[in-house]
Amino acid sequence: MQQILVILLIFPNLSEKEPKEARKKGGKLDIQFRDIKKQDIEKMVQMSAEVGYKIRYEKFSERISELIKNSNIGVIAAANEENKIVGWVQLEISNFIFSDKACNILGVFIDKNYRGNQIGRKLIEKAQEWAREKGCISFKISSDITRIDSHAFYKHMGFKHIKTEQIFGRRVEKEDQQD
């Protein structure tokens, strides 16, 4: 049974915590934020695998094509000086009857060679802008209980641990399999 840590952020003023100038190999790291492109998918699959999400390129590409058609889904890419993707974040809006409109951060992925350069922080800032434009008042991120380094990053970004829960799941059965 998988336990998930849920962390909530009510939009803090992230600009109060100015990041140190990001540097890579002695020079300034110039990161641009943009929509994802088809040529990003291979690297996105690789970054997903680095943290344990193994998926075939074809399936990933198919899912991305479907997701970007949905206005309640956002995917923001961080690209280096050569316009190569070095990180990305996937977002989804929640409209539950029993709570305010929220933005769920479904994943934050940073290329292992670029970690420690404030890219995650900047992606969260861009995610906050996206969520604000969509009328959300809070962020939520679920993180596996074993991802201790990620929890420290989220807390550093102003997220608060709000609950620990268990996730249950099962496949949707086809009609002919039901009794």
- 38-82: per-residue pLDDT in tens? 899 999 999 998 888 888 889 988 988 888 888 999 999 999 999
- Domain spanning 3-17+29-169: which superfamily? Gcn5-related N-acetyltransferase (GNAT) (3.40.630.30)
pLDDT at residue 102, as a whole number: 94
- CB-based contact 36:91 (threshold 8 Å): no
- Output the average pLDDT for the chain: 83
Query: Is residue 122 over pLDDT 50?
Result: yes
Determine the Cα–Cα distance for residues 28 and 44; give it in Å rounded to an integer: 24
> Which is nearest to 123 in space by CA: 94, 156, 148, 90?
90
This prediction's pTM: 0.77
Amino acid code (one letter) for 109: F
H or E segment at 78?
Answer: strand 73-79
- 85-110: per-residue pLDDT in tens? 999 999 999 988 888 999 999 999 99
C-beta neighbour count of 111 within 10 angstroms: 20
Determine the Cα–Cα distance for residues 119 and 99; give it in Å rounded to an integer: 30
User: Between 28 and 158, where is the model more confident?
Assistant: 158
For tokens 């934050």, the residue is 108
C-alpha torsion angle, residues 19, 87, 95, 65 (rounded to 10): 160
